[in-house]
Amino acid sequence: SADLAMYHSKEHGRDQLYFFEQQMQQQLRQRQKLEHELKLALTEQQFSLYYQPKVNSVRQLAGYEALIRWHHPEQGMVPPDLFIPLAESSGLIIDIGTWVLKTACLQIKYFVDQGARLAIAVNVSQRQLVQKDFVDTVQQIIKDTGIQANLLELEITESMLHDDLEATRQKLLALSDIGVTFSLDDFGTGYSSLSYLKNLPIHVLKIDQSFVKEFLIEKTDRAIVLTIIAMAETLGLMVVAEGVEQQQQFEELAEMGCALFQGYLFGKPAPLPELMSKKINLVDAKQ
Ligand code: C2E
Ligand code: MG
Ligand code: MG
Ligand code: MG
């Protein structure tokens, strides 16, 4: 019967292995399906950009961040956190990223034609930044759309600065030279190395929303927020608080010296800025 027990456990193990294989197969198929659909999404024009306002301490509009949305024919809206990683691992992010840049620059052009000099921030992926022709691509889009380069802001993250820092530095410098500005997104969540801030043309720090979320009650988060604001001030950088949802967060952050604010309190990302219908005071964030 000891043999029998062993037989059963082996059998059981085999069943389990079979089950896991089935699961992995299914996950792989789902991934391949989504990747295939993602490929089609660009040609089928299923992507759009949403825009979220950034405001200054007196709630004047200071610019927008462009955030991609995928309107999947069956699944409806797929959030970027679900498909951007797949776009990155499959390499599709290169074409998608170029589309995002073009679309955002056309929107900048549209604003300017309406008499509003508004900057738009665009999120850039690691995969895009490491492309040899990244600088050329951005420059070409700026040229084709005829916008002023200083109205385009590129958001990168600290984690993108790990490999080949010198090549990255050269790219940021080349674009910075023509007026493009750079922000460090989700600041404080990566390896916040001060040498990045010293050696790279970074103009803006975006305090990650995880700190903003809790700083009213968490002492540590408050200390981190204060430190980032103080550091930005010392280094002459602009600072943006992300994920501001409550009036009290806004007021205290402003008191702490934060310059710009972004979050549901001021507006969720929306298909097209209702700029022309609302009467909004414009400020130049790049002053
Ligand atoms: P992110 O660049 O840090 O963008 C901020 C995210 O926080 C956005 O989520 C925005 O909708 C959300 N958010 C803004 N205010 C609030 C708030 O008050 N409360 C809360 N809970 N959330 C708020 P979203 O649009 O889902 O984008 C998620 C991430 O996907 C972005 O984080 C960015 O890393 C990435 N992403 C979005 N669009 C693009 C794109 O065009 N290209 C690339 N490479 N990545 C993108
Ligand atoms: Mg961002
Ligand atoms: Mg962020
Ligand atoms: Mg993020």
Mean pLDDT score of the chain: 91
Whole-number Å distance, alpha carbon 124 to ligand 3 midpoint, is 12
CA separation for the pair 87, 97 (Å, rounded): 10
Cβ atoms within 10 Å of 116's Cβ, excluding its own = 15
Report the atom number in ligand 1 closest to the C-alpha of 88: 44
What's the whole-model pTM score? 0.90
What confidence tens digit (pLDDT) does each residue in 189-239 have? 987 778 888 899 999 999 999 999 999 999 999 999 999 999 999 999 999
Name the maximum alpha-carbon separation found in the chain.
87
Whole-number Å distance, alpha carbon 24 to ligand 3 midpoint, is 32
Query: What is the predicted pLDDT for the residue at 193?
Result: 78
On whether the CB atoms of residues 65 and 51 are closer than 8 A, the answer is yes
Cβ atoms within 10 Å of 108's Cβ, excluding its own = 26
CA within 13 Å, CB half, 20: 5
Confidence of residue 276 (pLDDT cuts 50, 70, 90): very low
Whole-number Å distance, alpha carbon 122 to ligand 2 midpoint, is 7
- Ligand 1 site residues, Cβ closer than 6 angstroms: 52, 67-68, 79-81, 84, 97, 100, 123, 125, 155, 185-186, 209, 242-245, 262-264, 269
Beta strands in 88-149 (DSSP E): 120-123
Contacts of 239 (CB under 8 A, 6+ apart): 204, 205, 206, 207, 228, 229, 232, 233, 257, 258, 259, 260
CA separation for the pair 10, 188 (Å, rounded): 49
Instruction: Identify the residue whose C-alpha is closest to ligand 1 atom 37.
Output: 67
Amino acid at 150: N
What confidence tens digit (pLDDT) does each residue in 151-161 have? 999 999 998 98
What confidence tens digit (pLDDT) does each residue in 106-144 have? 999 999 998 999 999 999 999 999 999 999 999 999 999
Query: What is the predicted pLDDT for the residue at 274?
Result: 63
- The lowest-confidence range among 9-23, 46-60, 169-183, 217-231 is 9-23
CA separation for the pair 147, 282 (Å, rounded): 18
Tokens of 147: 């916008």
CA separation for the pair 15, 22 (Å, rounded): 10
The ipTM, to two decimals, is 0.98
What confidence tens digit (pLDDT) does each residue in 163-184 have? 889 999 999 999 999 999 999 9
Amino acid at 230: A
Query: What is the predicted pLDDT for the residue at 20?
Result: 79
Q: What is the mean pLDDT of residues 86-92?
A: 95
Report the atom number in ligand 1 closest to the C-alpha of 242: 15
Cβ atoms within 10 Å of 210's Cβ, excluding its own = 15
What are residue 131's phi and psi, to 5 degrees? Answer: -60, 140
Report the atom number in ligand 1 closest to the C-alpha of 93: 44
Helix spans in 147-203 (H)? 165-177, 194-199
Contacts of 65 (CB under 8 A, 6+ apart): 51, 52, 54, 120, 121, 122, 123, 155, 262, 269
